[in-house]
């Protein structure tokens, strides 16, 4: 069994164990194909690559992590995007979630507030040939209003509450998938769906643990070896 096959098996096992919470017995085949296609080892630091295909989060520097593959797959599935969808991601990190989204959506816009991660991810995604992803260094709490409305928005860090700007930037029928809660406290993965009437309805999915969503103006970058991880 290859590393990728083992990873897909582990994701399927997690789905089976959580099926009553997530409301599905299997994930969209397009999402699983994306998980198989995107090389996770290309998105983790060199000293973590031996663990790249384990079903767990890994540190990527600057106090941030690359999410557990099961959670990446689940959040992508919950977004419900299609080949023509325009999707916003908040928290580019290493670029892994954006790469997965790019295999199931038409266009991905990704915002990162940590300059070292933003620059490294943009370079990595370009080097790997992901041409339908646009990145931006900015405060993700504010979204990307110039490109709104979006067909889906995915947040890869936990906000203490649902950011109003992100709900505003959803198109009719679109979903916002995000963890909400306090650092080191209870966090829950939520799906916020905006109906055709403009009313947003929230559904809790399952307990999660994410790094906190950082707010404020991006600080100046500092040269470091982490940037080249």
Residue-wise pLDDT tens digits, 164-178: 999 999 999 999 999
Which pLDDT score is estimated for 151? 97
Residue 82 has pLDDT above 80, yes or no: yes
Confidence label for 229 from pLDDT (cuts 50, 70 and 90): very low
List, in order, residues 6 or more apart from 101 with CB less than 8 Å away: 34, 76, 79, 81, 87, 89, 108, 133, 154
Residue 184 has pLDDT above 90, yes or no: no
Which pLDDT score is estimated for 3? 95
**Residue 225 falls in the annotated catalytic set:** no
Which pLDDT score is estimated for 29? 97
Catalytic residue among 67, 85, 94, 110: 67
- Token pair, residue 16, equals 């089976």
Q: Averaged over 108-121, what is the pLDDT?
A: 97
169: nearest Cα among 155, 185, 186, 183: 155
CA distance 78 to 68: 15
DSSP E strands, the chain: 58-61, 64-66, 86-90, 107-112, 133-137, 150-155, 170-181, 187-194, 200-207
Strand pairing of 133-137 and 150-155? unpaired
User: Which domains, from first to last, does the chain contain?
Assistant: 3-217 (3.40.50.150)
Which pLDDT score is estimated for 13? 97
User: Which has the higher per-residue pLDDT, 126 or 229?
Assistant: 126
Which pLDDT score is estimated for 221? 62
- Token pair, residue 189, equals 């993965």
Residue 35 has pLDDT above 80, yes or no: yes
Residue 64 has pLDDT above 80, yes or no: yes
């Amino acid at each position: 069994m290859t590393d990728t096959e083992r990873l897909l098996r582990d994701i399927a096992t997690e789905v089976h164990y959580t099926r009553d919470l997530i409301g599905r017995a299997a994930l969209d085949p397009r999402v699983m194909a994306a998980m198989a296609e995107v090389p996770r080892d290309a998105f983790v630091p060199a000293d973590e690559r031996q663990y790249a295909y384990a079903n767990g989060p890994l540190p990527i520097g600057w106090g941030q992590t690359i999410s557990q593959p099961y959670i990446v797959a689940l959040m992508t599935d919950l977004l419900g995007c299609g080949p023509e969808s325009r999707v916003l991601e908040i928290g580019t990190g290493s670029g892994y979630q954006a790469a997965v989204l790019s295999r199931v959506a038409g266009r991905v816009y990704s915002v990162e507030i940590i300059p070292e991660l933003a620059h490294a991810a943009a370079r990595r995604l370009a080097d790997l040939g992901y041409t339908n992803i646009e990145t931006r260094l900015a405060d993700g709490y504010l979204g990307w209003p110039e490109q709104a409305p979006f067909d889906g928005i995915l947040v890869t860090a936990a906000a203490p509450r649902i950011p109003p700007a992100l709900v505003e930037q959803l198109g009719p029928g679109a979903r916002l998938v995000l963890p909400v809660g306090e650092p080191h406290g209870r966090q829950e993965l939520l799906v916020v769906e905006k109906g055709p009437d403009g009313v947003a309805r929230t559904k809790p999915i399952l307990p999660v643990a994410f790094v906190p969503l950082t707010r404020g103006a991006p600080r100046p970058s500092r040269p470091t070896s982490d940037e080249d991880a």
